[in-house]
Amino acid sequence: MLKVSKERILSKLNTYSREALKRASEMAIEQSQFEVTVSHLLLAMMEQPGGDTGKLLSVLRIQPERLEAKLRKSLDHARRGAQDLPEFATLLLELLQDALMLGSGELEEDNIRTGTIFAAVAQNPDRYCHFYVFSEFEALDSRAILTGFYDLVKGSMEGNGDPSNPAREGGANGAGDAPIQSESALHKFGRNMTEQAKNGEIDPVFCRDTEIAQMTDILSRRRKNNPILVGDPGVGKTALAEGLALKIVEGDVPAALQGAALWELDLGALQAGASVKGEFERRLKAVLDEVISAPEKIVLFIDEAHTLIGGGAAAGGSDAANLLKPALARGQIRAIAATTWSEYKKYFEKDAALTRRFQLIKLAEPTIDQCVTILRGLRPQYESQHNVYISDAALHAAAALSVRYLTGRQLPDKAFDVLDTAAVRVAAGQSAQPRELDWLNKRIAMLERERADRDRDSRMAAIGAGTSGDHIEETIARLHAQAEKLQHRWQVEKQKVNRVIELRTLIAKGHEAANDETDLVAHDTAADEAGATRVADVPEVTETAEQHDPEALRAEIVSLLAELRDARRNETALVEFEVGEGVIADVISDWTGVPASAMSDDDADRILGLGDALRSVIKGQDLAIEVIHDRMKAARLDLVRDSAPRGVFLLVGPSGVGKTETAEQVALNLFGGRQFLSVINMSEYQEKHTVSRLIGSPPGYVGYGEGGILTEAIRKMPYSVVLLDEVEKAHPDVMNIFYQGFDKGVINDGEGREIDCRNVVFFMTSNLGSDALMQNRETVESASMEALEKALRPHLQEHFKPALLARMRILCFKPLSSESIQQIIDLKLNGLAARLKKVRGMELRWNDSVLALIEDLCAHADNGARMVEQVIDRWILPSIAEEALQRISDHVSLDGLELDAADGGFVMTFLPEIADAANGADADTNTDTDTDTDTDTEAGLDVEGNGSGTEDDDIPEKEARAG
């Protein structure tokens, strides 16, 4: 019968006993048992190294393996199938009570040791032992165990380490007990950041002096001296605390913080295993008591502080934050908290009592220039870690390109990730086989397996078996040649890169020798050492720096780099000698899918060529293209207003004149791909309430927190093109959200966040006033852009407010002229020819009569260039597809197709393979019966003087007429 409360019994467990009881509970949970029994506890005690139980088993000559087997056998008979957590068996609590009585009465022990638990079992084995285990304890003399207890457990790590107790002097372990029993709660649930700073385990912190100064000011206050660092993930909140630890170690802090210790609280360790009610609060209270009573000044750093709010409540305890509030308010402890903006709003702002105990410090994302400074400061650590040289251009590229292409993350975190990955890639490439060569070898192996399988089917006369085919042999031979060529280039590059690394090593060593007696800044020295890049297979440098003139070494490096460029011949580098901006671009390209060439090429060249790129696709709209080009050039030089987007254009004109295509081409040529174009069909927003679909639902409405189509697109791709198609069909109130975006470059979403759209190019398309343009084709053709804008403005003002129109640049897209239509037809046919060549290996040729017929068919429609595609899709593609499929069915390849126009329709002449034609020449005596077909073939081949007829074909060509 229990005479002592369960809570008091559990509070008297020493560290070993508590851990044993915890392990016993885990065993019961693993086996889905309803109770934690004495057998569970004895098994857990036997698993502990260095405790009393192991010593007693050894001295009393009890075989651990035999006892463990009997204990496990006894557990096999316990009830299973529990759905909830197991409870402590009454018999187990009575055993712990007896152990407490024995320890306090016989041994003057304040706490329950595992040895006293063992002695309590030995004193009453028929009560506490299962009948399988009874025989192991039956013969034990419990009185002898208690009398010579400390001699029996000599060397054990248990005990309370009280030197004033003579019964324990020279016994269990004296002071040796202290590391276990008196283990500091701070050591168990935290890490000493100042100690790590002394040992050089913390990286230096840059560009955060203002925020660190704010922290020291707040921490030095008498009351409520607790800063809270709030910022987006990745901006450096933890680094700020590490920067304070470095300043404390350097002594560069106010007197109130001199000699202080900064401890980071490990909330994960606090919560781990704290499933028992009150355990989490007990651990946290122990930490707080230790901080308050510590003789030295201690500052707590609580990362992810929002997890404290509600901590413990899940297990039926009180909110852990309530334990902190009194100590924080009275200044008994000083704590630095860190959390994100979303978590701060969600948890802290709702608890006014907790909020007022912390002083807010806002951490903004560093600028690109600040990020480069931070990268420079930590470059030595990355160079030393990866044994590569990192150029300054790579640091600039990592910061600038990560901002542009890695959206949804913050500097400097994403820049460090890019730089780290690039350094790994360069280090691996200096010794490992290039990816290009590896791909070729795998491709060769795949084709060889295919060839072997086909040969096997052929030998076995399998159904559908055929020969391996000459094309596989040719492909394998070609790939082998490419692989050999690539292998040779790799070896040449590797040799030259290794020599560059050796020379840089010599230069670095010479620089160190020349500065041995100077007072160098520590991180500059580290940078020079890290600059001595080495790889595993670089030969040991036997030359000394004194043997060479540094200028001569640099001249040799320049010469080697020139040879490398010649060896590569504008091809991709197989071995990199340093982390440069090209490697950074490759890494980001792999992550985002944006072509590396679009990132590494000079932006100025791409901007200057934008006009020509647009004119090559968009025909007949030179004035509009010129305006767009001028705006992009100004935006590239940052000559536009800082708060304005890169461009806001309203494209007005008839359907099919190139408005939508213009937006697509700008995304392709300016930003690197069509994936940087977000298209929103504004005809879907004809109701007032649909604005929530663009910016997200407000609080209290369905869909809150999910974001809007427009705002999420810009937030994920801040460098992109946004196309608002058919903008005149949207409700006027929906257009109101664009006032601020077009003017200030910011749109607020449904959650109140500011979405930066200063790097976005907005395009809007509309057909307003297109009837007037079509009716005055001749006048419109020669009119200036200003005159056209003036003529269209009355039509636009009927749908858009003047204030909104003032924020746009109106561009009139003219109706297409006959010349422009022909250019578009030629462009579309060239696209069709390229697809046929790529997919089927067919050549497509046509003459001017085809262009004239397509133009004539398009002249009767108001769809502009769209009608060109319809004509091709309706009258040309079906015949090509039918003939191609027929040839595939007959196992006959097509060599080409000639397209002509006659009698208002299209005439297609399909040419057989050249090899088939050559074979047909040997059998020309059999082809005299179809003279009409031969005549037609000859006429069909002579297109624009590019072909010649023949009457020797064994397989007659097929004519197809459509239209």
Higher-pLDDT residue of 44 and 572 is: 44
**Nearest CA-CA partner of 235 in 117, 361, 85:** 361
Residue 231: strand pairing partners: 363
Kindly report, residue by residue over 383-438, the tens digit of the pLDDT.
Answer: 999 999 999 999 999 999 998 888 778 999 999 999 999 999 999 988 888 888 99
Q: For residue 117, what are its two tokens?
A: 């638990």
pLDDT digits (tens, 9 = 90+) for 134-177: 888 888 888 888 888 888 888 888 854 433 333 343 333 333 33
Identity of the residue numbered 173: N
When mean pLDDT is compared across 73-77, 461-465, 545-549, the lowest value belongs to 545-549
Q: Which helix (H) or strand (E) holds 803?
A: helix 802-805
**pLDDT at residue 663 above 80?**
yes
Print burial letters for 121-150: b (CB count within 10 Å at least 16), e (below 16).
Answer: bbbebeebbbebbeebbeebebeebbeebb
Residues 6 or more apart in contact with residue 622 via CB below 8 angstroms = 615
**pLDDT band at residue 352 under the 50/70/90 scheme:** confident
Answer positive or negative: Cα dihedral of 180, 186, 190, 192. Answer: negative
Closest CA to 167 of 103, 102, 108, 100: 108
Tokens encoding 950 = 């023949």
Buried b (16+ CB within 10 A) or exposed e, 20-57: bbbbbbbbbeeeebbbbbbbbbbbbbbbbeebbbbbbb
Report pLDDT digits (tens) over 811-824.
999 988 888 888 89
Amino acid at 177: D
pLDDT of residue 126 exceeding 70: yes
Amino acid at 629: H
pLDDT-wise least confident of 302-306, 312-316, 504-508:
312-316
Amino acid 538: pLDDT: 41
**Are 318 and 285 spatial neighbours (Cβ–Cβ below 8 Å)?**
no
* Per-residue model confidence as pLDDT tens digits over 362-389: 999 999 999 999 999 999 999 999 999 9
Q: What integer pLDDT is reported at residue 672 of this predicted model?
A: 81
Note the pLDDT of residue 936: 38
Does the pLDDT of residue 948 top 60, yes or no?
no
Q: Per-residue pLDDT tens for 838-888?
A: 887 788 888 888 888 888 888 765 667 788 888 888 888 888 888 778 877
Per-residue pLDDT band at 579 (split at 50, 70, 90): very high
Cα angle value 538/539/543 (rounded, 5°) = 120
**Measured CA distances, 866 to 203, 464, 855 (Å):** 60, 44, 12
According to the model, what pLDDT value does residue 310 have?
Answer: 64
Q: How confident is the model at residue 521 (pLDDT cuts 50, 70, 90)?
A: very low
> Nearest-CA neighbor of 498 among 535, 550, 542, 529?
535
Over residues 545-559, the mean pLDDT reads 75
- CA dist 959 and 527 (Å) reads 74
Q: Specify the DSSP element, H or E, that contains 921.
A: helix 914-921
Max CA pair span of the chain: 127
- CA-to-CA distance for 423 and 834, rounded, in angstroms? 40
For residue 338, report the phi and psi dihedrals to the nearest 5 degrees.
-145, 135
Task: State residue 572 phi and psi, 5-degree precision.
Answer: -65, 140
Q: Residue range 501-514: average pLDDT?
A: 78
Q: Read off the DSSP letter of residue 51.
A: S
pLDDT over 90, % of the chain: 36
Q: Which of 341-355, 592-606, 714-728, 807-821 has the lowest mean pLDDT?
A: 592-606
| DSSP 8-state class, residue 776 | T
* Whether residue 541 has pLDDT greater than 50: no
pLDDT score recorded for residue 518: 54
CA distance linking residue 713 with residue 570, whole number of Å: 36
* Dihedral sign from CA coordinates of 250, 255, 259, 260: negative
Angle at 464 between CA 463 and CA 468, to 5 degrees: 120
- Cβ–Cβ < 8 Å for 719, 759: yes
Q: Is the pTM of this model over 0.75?
A: no
Whether the per-residue pLDDT at 533 is higher than 70: the answer is: no
In this predicted structure, what is the pLDDT of residue 636? 82
In terms of phi and psi (left: phi > 0; alpha: psi -120 to 50; beta: otherwise), the region of 953 is: beta
Taking the C-alpha atoms of residue 321 and residue 337, their distance in angstroms, rounded to an integer, is 12
| DSSP letter assigned to residue 359 | E
Query: Which residue has better confidence, 697 or 912?
Result: 697
Residue 412: cis peptide before it, omega within 30 degrees of 0: yes
- Contact call for residues 379 and 422 (beta carbons, < 8 A): no
Identify which of 671, 718, 740, 678 has the alpha carbon closest to the alpha carbon of residue 365. Answer: 718
Per DSSP, the three-state class of 86 is coil
Q: Which of 194, 60, 45, 67 is nearest to 133 (CA)?
A: 67
Contact 629, 662 (CB under 8 A): no
Tokens of 325: 């509030």
Residue 106 CB-density burial (10 A; 0-12 exposed, 13-18 middle, 19+ buried): middle
* Span 87-92, average pLDDT: 90
Nearest to 652 by CA among 870, 799, 510: 799
pLDDT at 195 (0 to 100): 94
CB contact set of 10 (below 8 Å; sequence gap of 6+): 18, 21, 96
Nearest to 913 by CA among 882, 932, 939, 891: 891
Q: Which residue in this structure is represented by tokens 């191609």?
A: 884
* 451 has a pLDDT exceeding 70: yes
The token pair at 373 is 């400074």
3-class DSSP assignment, residue 713: helix
